[in-house]
Amino acid sequence: MELTLWTYEGPPHVGAMRIATSMTGVHYVLHAPQGDTYADLLFTMIERRDKRPPVTYTTFQARDLGGDTAELVKSAVRDAYERFKPDAMLVGESCTAELIQDQPGSLAMGMSLPIPIVPLELPAYSKKENWGASETFYHLVRTLLLPLAPPPGSPPRESVTAAATRENRRPRCNLLGGTALGFRNRDDVREVTRLLSDIGVDVHVCAPLNATVKDIQAMPHADFNVVLYPEVADTTARWLQKTFGQPTVRTVPIGVLATREFVEEVGKVAGVDVSALLERERAGTAQVGASRSLLPWYSRSVDSTYLTGKRVFVFGDATHVMAAARMAKDELGFTVVGIGTYSREYARPIRDLAAALGVEALISDDYLAVEQRVTELAPELVLGTQMERHIAKRLGVPCAVISAPIHVQDVPARHSPQMGFEGANVIFDTWVHPLMMGLEEHLLHMFKDDFEFSDGATPSHLHASPPAAGAERPARAESMGAQRLTPLSSRELEAPEAASAVGFAEEEDEIDAVVAVAPIVTSWMASAEAELKKIPFFVRGKVRRNTEKYAHDRGVAEITVDIMYDAKAFYGR
Amino acid sequence: MSTVLELPVIRERGQREVFCGLTGIVWLHRKMQDAFFLVVGSRTCAHLVQSAAGVMIFAEPRFATAILSERDLAGLADANDELDRCVRQLLDRRPDISTLFLVGSCPSEVIKLDLQRAAERLNTQFLPRVRILNYSGSGIETTFTQGEDACLRCMVPHLPESTSATAELMVVGTMADVVEDQFTRLFAQLGVGPVHFFPPRMARDLPPVGPNTKLLLAQPFLGETARALIARGATLLASPFPFGVNGTTAWLKAAADEWGVSADRLDAVTAAPAERARVALARYGPWLKGKRVFFFPDSQLEIPLARFLYEECGVELVEVGTPYLDKLMISSELLRLPATAQISEGQDVEKQLDRCREARPDLTVCGLGLANPLEAEGLRTKWSIELVFSPVHGYEQAGDLAELFARPLDRAQRLAV
């Protein structure tokens, strides 16, 4: 038993959902009780997906347990097949169903449906989400491609160049590992496809993201495979290499240096000359206007000197942590003070990297252990997941998200990749953004006793309080208080809210105008003031302003609780 | 008996797109500031609670999960020893906690981990510093808001015996503190009291209960708690729930009648806030009047809210889904629904979606898993979970409640893209 406040990864069946949701024509029947449908909202809310995940839940209840839960599985499989007519079906169970041992996969296999059925056994009490995604992708690909595998003793696959020349086409590859709910996978796939095209390589199949069952069946026709996220695609790529002889490109193109290495590796595997492309994007000489890669110049420009040696802590999945640590050190000139990952499967490479950086690796999925490490190290910037955002917020440290698990704000509308040269540009902006700009930092330190800097009004910037420089950890309550007051900056309060329902914009404008010229002479009764404090902080300022305006207009000198609510009713939201 | 009570109800059994009872922890842990909720379950449970809590976490949560592992299931580790270790670890870290709830889950129920006995055992170690209670929020037994019912139900045996010789009022169900204060003032003006709220703001301040306790329910999902309180001698005051002007007035009247308050006094006390609420409501009338609304089952608030929308906002009810119908809780509400409203109990989500698409309502009230996909199909939606997490009870919030329904319609009209 393990005490957990937050979990970095969901259970393995959520990994399977990510595969099903990434694809078209694949349906997942999940033997699970009520409540497990919560996972739908991860996709519909965090990623704002416009369709429900293609998942049918059997929804068994306590009263079913003595009876025939197996029949429930069969009817769910039958109904899902008839309603959705998928091209392939995944059948598995969540943690509770695993305990009652109905073996839904075998049940579905016995139903003779005219589509491929992939039974999934994902042990929920020992494995986690990324493993579940990897395993699901592997079993799906294997089920669909095994009939197409060349018989033993077949001649070895011809070289990429030979095949491309013979067929009079460019070399082509499969792009493997992108999934729903992966950190910026949607944009990475787009960016890497563009980069490969610049190199002279076509993407044959991208999977699982955006793939159909037919696409998967066409995968052996690619010359080689590119693994974007080894957490999800490594197992599958190894099987494809073994079974179809497709070589694998393993460099993950996050960061300028890694992207250059990626280009070189693709060039080598595909037999394409990449020197011109690399010359154009050469680190150290990149110029604004001449290059797609702006990070090298931005990092060298004098404005970036204040970034020098900023102490950075990095935590997340293995792929993003390894890339981020290298970028932080070699591409932004930070000092990496600690790294860690929740991906236990990748403990070894992370430990090796930590040793190379001269820091200690934290291999843990215990949120409290991560929090403790961040507290001890007192970094000036945390690069982490949604969880580290909480930690950093509490400690008053700036934070940028580099890895899943993510939240809705980590799925921006704009193209915002992490991979390729453009990805490095995006990362530069993202990591520098939460940091105090050089001069502002000085001013805040110098005049921190200024009344507008303290308590009520925090600095004009994004985060709660200055970076914990000098290892000075703000008390929890203070940092929370400061955080909460941030949205109450004067500009926000002055802006008329667009939330009033029936178009009272005119009226609201008028309020603002009047408030701006007429100083408030009304006073608040203690009871009304106390009542006001009970209102959520993010609307308190507006309520105060409206109430005072209301009282002022009616010549009321003393604001009572009733006046406050009269005003609230009068103005609405 | 109303015509509605005899109307055919669609009863369905199939996939339910509804949270399990663990979700109640999300608001209960904020309401009782000295309480901590420890789910004994799987990684799925931990993932569910944190996903449901989502963006609402401004501070360290007062909930956690003791995640069962292969070792616990295979008997390699004694699950009870492991649980004791987790509880010790937790209470060491949070000395401010006075009540710890062990919350059962689907897996803990299926493996028959006896949390009742675990709580008794741990109490011998930790009382009086910490009281340890237990309930189940498992999805095989509870739906969404039933989690609060199970939580309050498990506290009932620990409520002190009331020694009062005269009537006392107990308001049952979680509401925002500010709303409780509003009601406290109204009850004081009416001369109804003493008033206790359950759950209390501090779990150690449990309200007394006894034969002179009169129960007024603030939430429609507390049937088991009400029955347990009745078993301890309390009397249930039947009433609609305090949503909107009518609901609030009827709710206050139920108490006022019990206390022998005159109709004049009730009018005098409620006239001003009721009028205020009507002013606030009038603002949203143009948005809601004549609109067709479809409720998917979610929080059990569906029937009272449908009544509010029908009576006070002029809404036409297409289908009102509810996870289950508890007549003890909901009869006063059902009586006021129009005969044209189709009630449905339980869920088969695909069939219900078919009905919803067929009906093309102006507004669909549904859970977060369905909202964006329905929006993408061109239907306007209101997330039902927001109705549970927002202060919506009483006169002062009547306008806010209407606004929650009006906003998606307003937004649809504003957007030109």
B46/A6 CB distance under 8 A: yes
Domain boundary among B225, B259, B276: B276
Q: Flag whether residue A390 sits within 8 Å of chain B, measured between CB atoms.
A: yes
Intervals of chain B under pLDDT 50: 1-4, 55-56
- CB A118, CB A141: distance < 8 Å: no
d(CA B148, CA B314): 31
B350/A79 CB distance under 8 A: yes
What pairs with residue A176 in β-bridges?
A: A207, A227
Same domain, A276 and A300: no
Same domain, A416 and A500: no
Same domain, B289 and B407: yes
Nearest to A59 among B14, B79, B181 (CB): B14
Using only C-alpha atoms, chain B has a radius of gyration, in whole angstroms, of: 22
Same domain, B204 and B131: no
Same domain, A177 and A110: no
Q: What is the pLDDT of residues A374-405, one digit of tens each?
A: 999 989 999 999 889 888 888 888 999 999 99
The CATH number given to whatever domain includes residue A207 is 3.40.50.1980
For residue A571, give both structure tokens.
């103005």
Q: Let me know if residue A412 belongs to a domain.
A: yes
Domain boundary among B276, B310, B342: B276
Quick count: other Cβ atoms within 10 Å of Cβ B262?
Answer: 11
**Active-site amino acid positions of A:** 303
Mutate to test the interface with A, among B111, B275, B370, B372 (most CBs of A within 10 A): B372
Q: Let me know if residue A318 belongs to a domain.
A: yes
For residue A370, give both structure tokens.
């991560």
Q: How confident is the model at residue A342 (pLDDT cuts 50, 70, 90)?
A: very high
Q: Let me know if residue B362 belongs to a domain.
A: yes
Q: Let me know if residue A394 belongs to a domain.
A: yes
Residue A451: predicted pLDDT: 52
**Domain boundaries, position B71:** 21-142
Contacts of B286 in chain A (CB under 8 A): 502
**Domain boundaries, position A69:** 12-133
Task: Give the residue from chain A lying closest to B281, CA to CA.
Answer: A569
For residue A469, give both structure tokens.
């420089």
Residue A511: predicted pLDDT: 32
Q: What is the pLDDT of residues A30-44, one digit of tens each?
A: 999 999 999 999 999
Q: Indicate the number of domains in chain A.
A: 4
For the cut 60, the answer to whether the pLDDT of residue A203 exceeds it is yes
Same domain, B287 and B407: yes
The CATH number given to whatever domain includes residue A546 is 1.10.8.550
For residue B412, give both structure tokens.
């649809």
Q: Which residue has the higher pLDDT, B352 or A464?
A: B352
Residue A460: predicted pLDDT: 46
Q: Indicate the number of domains in chain B.
A: 3
d(CA B125, CA B103): 19
| Nearest chain A CA: its distance from B21 CA (Å) | 8
Q: At a CB cut-off of 8 Å and minimum separation 6, what does A93 contact?
A: A13, A30, A31, A32, A102, A104
Same domain, A32 and A128: yes
Nearest to B48 among A35, A57, A562 (CB): A35
For the cut 90, the answer to whether the pLDDT of residue A462 exceeds it is no
Residue A286: predicted pLDDT: 53
d(CA B297, CA B268): 38
A570/B279 CB distance under 8 A: yes
Residue A29 dihedral angles phi and psi, to the nearest 5°: -100, 120
Q: Let me know if residue B155 belongs to a domain.
A: no
- Pick the closest to residue A184 from A423, A434, A11 (CA basis): A423
Residue A447: predicted pLDDT: 57
Using only C-alpha atoms, chain A has a radius of gyration, in whole angstroms, of: 28
Q: Which of B198-207 are b and which e, b meaning 16 or more Cβ less than 10 Å from the residue's Cβ? A: bbbeebeebb
Residue A488: predicted pLDDT: 26
Same domain, A317 and A275: no
For residue A326, give both structure tokens.
């290298």
Q: Let me know if residue B152 belongs to a domain.
A: no
Same domain, A181 and A266: yes
Same domain, B122 and B203: no
Q: Let me know if residue A518 belongs to a domain.
A: yes
Nearest to B373 among A52, A65, A561 (CB): A52
Q: What is the pLDDT of residues B174-220, one digit of tens each?
A: 999 999 999 999 999 999 989 999 999 999 999 999 999 999 999 99
d(CA B280, CA B274): 10
Q: Would you call A98 exposed, middle or buried from its count of C-beta atoms within 10 A (0-12, 13-18, 19+)?
A: buried
Same domain, A370 and A501: no
d(CA B92, CA A465): 29
B83/A1 CB distance under 8 A: yes
Same domain, B309 and B332: yes
Tally the residues of chain B.
417
Same domain, A86 and A47: yes
Same domain, A231 and A315: no
Q: Let me know if residue B402 belongs to a domain.
A: yes
Tell me what the mean pLDDT of segment A283-287 comes to: 59
**What is the residue-averaged pLDDT of chain A?**
85
For the cut 50, the answer to whether the pLDDT of residue A464 exceeds it is no
d(CA A261, CA A274): 11
Nearest to B140 among A61, A408, A561 (CB): A61
d(CA A72, CA B219): 33
B65/A7 CB distance under 8 A: yes
> Between the CA of residue A175 and those of A140, A193, A202, A255, A417, what are the distances in Å?
16, 8, 10, 18, 15
Same domain, B216 and B252: yes
Q: How many CB contacts within 8 angstroms connect chain A with chain B?
A: 231
Same domain, B176 and B300: no
For the cut 50, the answer to whether the pLDDT of residue A146 exceeds it is yes
For residue A478, give both structure tokens.
């203070």
The CATH number given to whatever domain includes residue B176 is 3.40.50.1980
Contacts of A38 in chain B (CB under 8 A): 19-20, 23, 47-48, 51-52, 369
- CB A136, CB A105: distance < 8 Å: no
Q: Let me know if residue B158 belongs to a domain.
A: no
Nearest to A4 among B65, B106, B141 (CB): B65
- CB B405, CB B313: distance < 8 Å: yes
Q: Which of A49-74 are b and which e, b meaning 16 or more Cβ less than 10 Å from the residue's Cβ? A: beebbbbbbbbbbbebeeeebbebbb
- Pick the closest to residue A272 from A263, A283, A281, A280 (CA basis): A263
Same domain, A428 and A510: no
Residue A100: predicted pLDDT: 92
Q: Let me know if residue B385 belongs to a domain.
A: yes
Task: Give the residue from chain B lying closest to A56, CA to CA.
Answer: B15
A2/B15 CB distance under 8 A: no
Residue A474: predicted pLDDT: 35
Name the one residue in this structure whose structure tokens are 């406040």: A5
Same domain, A111 and A188: no
Q: Flag whether residue A4 sits within 8 Å of chain B, measured between CB atoms.
A: yes
Pair type for strands B63-67 and A2-4: antiparallel
d(CA A85, CA A25): 8
Domain boundary among A280, A307, A322: A280
d(CA A54, CA B393): 37
Quick count: other Cβ atoms within 10 Å of Cβ A495?
Answer: 11
Domain boundary among B221, B256, B276: B276
B44/A95 CB distance under 8 A: yes
Q: Let me know if residue A249 belongs to a domain.
A: yes
Exposure on the CB side of residue A249, measured as CA atoms within 13 A: 30
Please spell the DSSP secondary structure of A534-562, one letter per residue: TS-HHHHHHHHHHHHHHHHHTT--EE-HH
Q: Which residue has the higher pLDDT, A225 or A507?
A: A225
- CB A182, CB A404: distance < 8 Å: yes
Q: Flag whether residue A36 sits within 8 Å of chain B, measured between CB atoms.
A: yes
Quick count: other Cβ atoms within 10 Å of Cβ A414?
Answer: 6
d(CA B179, CA B241): 14
Please spell the DSSP secondary structure of A426-441, one letter per residue: HHHHHHHTTSPPHHHH
d(CA A118, CA A79): 17
Q: Let me know if residue B291 belongs to a domain.
A: yes
Q: Let me know if residue A464 belongs to a domain.
A: no
Same domain, B267 and B301: no
Residue A439: predicted pLDDT: 60
Same domain, A256 and A311: no
Contacts of B83 in chain A (CB under 8 A): 1
Q: Let me know if residue B254 belongs to a domain.
A: yes
d(CA A287, CA A265): 25
- Residues 114-153 on A with a CB inside 8 Å of B are 123-126, 128
Same domain, B286 and B410: yes
Same domain, B199 and B129: no
